[in-house]
């Protein structure tokens, strides 16, 4: 349905272009020798652009090639063929933007509730998220789902700006299947070895809410206070944060930075939905066996935390750009650091990298690189260290993938009306 909608918009009287590519290569998948094949299609018009890709991985053993079925065994896996889909529209009353695809880094408002959360922690089941942005005069709104096919969780935020320099808004986050207990009363873990996923023995519908208000004394500085709760019915789940945001917009350089600090009751956690949330909701700390809800329930002390983040975008030339962003978060779950970057050099070289580390226990990274060669050929490299459940295991462990190869890309010079 979504693909048909994209095609209808794409060919609805707008000029555009399209590209088709094939790729092949090899390397390692979870430590085993592997071969990889891929097919991709990209198209764009003035309002919409989308890219589809279908990767196929085969491990190479003594019994011959074996297809990696876990890449294609859930609806989420099929949805992941949508590498990106963006649509923008501007009317007399509102600007609208829709994006579907991979995302390592989603933040609501200034991050007190949802801060740099990553939906791409699992190698076997990478989630394809959806984001919707709305803007009308002095009102801005943003909504997201971690997975648009099976929306395990998602949230949104809005901000209203008043004259002179005042703002007010709110955010929410919902996890309809927040794990309460992972193990059954017998102590056993329910694991689907075919899908490589764990199923909690009990869940709850979690709603987390926040309200924020502040001032913008200058065009580059925003000071905000935020009241948050992870459970509106429980007083010890409330907390507060103070945020300071600065921004600089130049002709070629953009700089942004945010500092946040605060605390709350024994069952409160600042930056609740962080980079490792999809793991922490099942096991708050590595090796301790408690879900995030159990961890907060057993807490008896006041909780505090702080974070800082920065973002840089620099236009090297008209066709070359460097973007970097980083963040550091501290709360009772430990210190978390992340770094993300993208480099585009004259459409010849494209590099995208992401890395996140929590203490000495959890770490993930991903790297995608492509070098364009003459006559439509290109060289590609993909490296990942993410989490997966090994056969016969009942917990997530780090695993890796390293693949490289060559490909051919055909661009259509035709313009349709």
Is 417 part of a structural domain of the chain?
Answer: no
CB–CB of 378/114 below 8 Å? no
**Are 296 and 180 in contact, with CB atoms under 8 Å apart?**
no
Q: 69: Cβ–Cβ under 8 A, 6 or more apart, which residues?
A: none
Q: What is the percentage of the chain residues whose pLDDT exceeds 70?
A: 94
Residue 350: the pLDDT is: 95
Average pLDDT score over residue span 143-169: 91
Q: Which single residue is written with the structure tokens 């056969």? A: 391
In this prediction, residue 321 has a pLDDT band, given cuts at 50, 70 and 90, of very high
Per-residue confidence (pLDDT) for residue 310, from 0 to 100: 96
> How would DSSP label each residue in 53-110?
EEEEEEEEETTEEEE-GGGGSSHHHHHTTEEEEEEEEE-SS-EEEEEEE--S-B--TT
Residues 45, 11: Cα–Cα separation, whole Å: 9
Overall average pLDDT of the 182-205 stretch: 82
Select from 239, 243, 273 the least CA-distant residue to 107: 273
Q: Residue 411: what pLDDT?
A: 86
Percent above pLDDT 90 for the chain? 71
Q: What is the mean pLDDT of the chain?
A: 90
Strands of 151-237, DSSP E: 154-162, 166-181, 190-192, 197-199, 202-218, 221-229
State the residue range of the domain holding 78.
2-412
Residue 285 contacts residue 276 (beta carbons within 8 Å)? no
pTM of the predicted structure, to 2 decimals: 0.91
Whole-number pLDDT of residue 206: 94
More confident residue, 157 or 2: 157
Taking 80 as the threshold, does the pLDDT of residue 152 lie above it? no
pLDDT of 401 reads 97
Identify whether 196 is part of a domain.
yes
319-347 average pLDDT score: 93
Kindly indicate the confidence band of residue 269, based on its pLDDT and cuts at 50, 70 and 90: very high
Local structure of 391: helix, strand or coil = coil
Report the pLDDT averaged over residues 291-298.
Answer: 92
Domain membership flag for residue 178: yes
Dist CA 204 CA 291 (whole Å): 12
Tell me, yes or no, whether 193 lies in a domain.
yes
Tokens of 19: 């590209």
Read off the pLDDT of residues 41-72 as tens digits, 9 standing for 90 and up: 999 888 899 999 999 999 998 888 899 998 89
105 in any annotated domain: yes
Q: What is the pLDDT of residue 413?
A: 56
Q: For residue 187, what pLDDT is reported?
A: 74
CA distances from 363 to 54, 275, 337, 399 (A): 27, 10, 10, 11
Q: Give CA–CA dist 363/231, Å, rounded.
A: 29
Confidence of residue 122 (pLDDT cuts 50, 70, 90): very high
- The answer to whether residue 63 is domain-embedded is yes
> Is the pLDDT confidence value at 288 over 90?
no
Give pLDDT tens digits for 68-118: 998 898 888 999 999 999 999 988 889 999 999 988 899 999 899 999 999
Run of H or E residues at 321: strand 320-331
- In whole angstroms, give the CA distance from residue 123 to residue 195: 12
pLDDT given for residue 15 in this prediction: 62
Torsion of CA 67, 71, 73, 77, to 10 degrees: -150
DSSP states of 344-367 as a string?
EETTTEEEEEEEEEETTTEEEEEE
pLDDT for res 2: 46
In this model, does residue 27 exceed pLDDT 90? Answer: yes
pLDDT value, residue 347? 80
Q: How many structural domains comprise the chain?
A: 1
pLDDT number for residue 163: 82
- Quote the CA–CA distance of 18 and 301 in Å, as a whole number: 57
Give the containing element (helix H, strand E) for 315. Answer: strand 303-317
Evaluate if residue 171 carries a pLDDT over 50. yes
């Amino acid at each position: 349905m979504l693909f048909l909608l994209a095609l209808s918009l794409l060919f609805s009287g707008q000029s555009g272009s399209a590209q088709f590519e094939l790729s092949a290569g090899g390397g390692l998948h979870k430590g085993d020798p592997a071969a990889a094949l891929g097919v991709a299609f990209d198209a764009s018009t003035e309002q919409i652009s989308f890219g589809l890709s279908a990767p196929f991985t085969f491990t190479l053993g003594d019994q011959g090639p074996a297809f990696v079925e876990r890449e294609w065994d859930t609806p989420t896996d099929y949805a992941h063929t949508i590498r990106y889909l963006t649509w923008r529209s501007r009317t007399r009353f509102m600007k609208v933007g829709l994006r579907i695809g991979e995302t390592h880094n989603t933040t609501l408002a200034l991050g007190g509730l949802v801060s740099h959360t990553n939906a791409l922690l699992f190698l076997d089941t990478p989630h394809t998220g959806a984001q919707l942005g709305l803007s009308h005069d002095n009102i801005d709104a943003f909504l997201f789902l971690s997975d648009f096919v099976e929306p395990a969780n998602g949230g949104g935020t809005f901000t209203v700006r008043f004259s002179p320099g005042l703002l007010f808004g709110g955010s929410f986050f919902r996890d309809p299947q927040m794990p309460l207990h992972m193990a059954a009363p017998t102590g056993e873990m329910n694991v689907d070895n075919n899908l490589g996923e764990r199923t909690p023995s009990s869940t709850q519908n979690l709603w987390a809410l926040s309200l924020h208000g502040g001032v913008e004394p200058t065009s580059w500085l925003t000071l905000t206070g935020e009241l948050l709760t992870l459970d509106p019915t429980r007083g010890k789940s409330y907390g507060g944060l103070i945020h300071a945001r600065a921004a600089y917009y130049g002709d070629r350089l953009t700089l942004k930075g945010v500092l946040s600090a605060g605390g709350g009751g024994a069952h409160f956690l600042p930056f609740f939905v962080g980079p490792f949330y999809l793991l922490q909701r099942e096991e708050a700390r590595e090796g301790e066996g408690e879900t995030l809800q159990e961890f907060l329930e057993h807490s008896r002390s006041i909780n505090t935390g702080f974070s800082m983040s920065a973002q840089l975008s620099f236009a090297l030339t008209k066709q070359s750009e460097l973007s970097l962003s980083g963040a550091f978060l501290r709360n009772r779950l430990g210190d978390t650091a992340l770094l993300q970057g993208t480099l585009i050099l004259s459409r010849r070289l494209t590099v995208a990298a992401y890395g996140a580390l929590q203490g000495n226990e959890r770490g993930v990274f991903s790297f995608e690189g492509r070098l364009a060669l003459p006559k439509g050929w290109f060289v590609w490299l993909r490296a990942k260290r993410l989490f997966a459940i090994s056969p016969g295991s009942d917990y997530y462990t780090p695993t890796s993938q390293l693949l490289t190869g060559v490909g051919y890309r055909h661009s259509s010079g035709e313009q349709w009306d």
